[in-house]
Amino acid sequence: MMGLIEFAAGVSGTTREPFVHVTWGNEKGQLTPAEAMQHGIRAIQAAIEAERDAGFIDWAMSSDGPHLELPHAAAMLAGLRDHRSQADPDPRQDA
């Protein structure tokens, strides 16, 4: 892993436009504030989904749940993800 992704607010000295400076290891770049917010929302949503999915797999494979083997639990999770994407549009999709 390359370490934390760091963000810093900035303002252009020539245009006076705001920007977000991004650093990750040796990689550096700039985003508009809107782009930075979109990335942040997507990262938070992915983290929430990862935690929820891990909890579901844990339950599905446990003795308190249906006690499925991993391939069956993963298939069930894939089915739930498909259903969610049909019922609830992904809020991370650009309008």
What number of CA atoms fall less than 13 Å from residue 73's CA on the CB side? 17
pTM, whole model, 2 decimals? Answer: 0.75
Residue 7 pLDDT > 70: yes
User: Is there a single domain that holds both residue 78 and residue 38?
Assistant: yes
Q: Tokens 């992904």 map to which residue?
A: 90
Asked if the structure places residue 93 within a domain, the reply is no
User: Is there a single domain that holds both residue 64 and residue 83?
Assistant: yes
Asked if the structure places residue 81 within a domain, the reply is yes
User: Is there a single domain that holds both residue 46 and residue 66?
Assistant: yes
Asked if the structure places residue 57 within a domain, the reply is yes
Range of the domain at 19: 1-31
| pLDDT 10s digits, 26-73 | 999 999 999 999 999 999 998 999 999 999 999 999 999 999 999 999
Which runs of E-coded beta strand occur in 5-64? 5-11, 18-24, 27-31
Residue 76 pLDDT > 80: yes
Asked if the structure places residue 38 within a domain, the reply is yes
Provide the domain count of the chain: 2
Asked if the structure places residue 95 within a domain, the reply is no
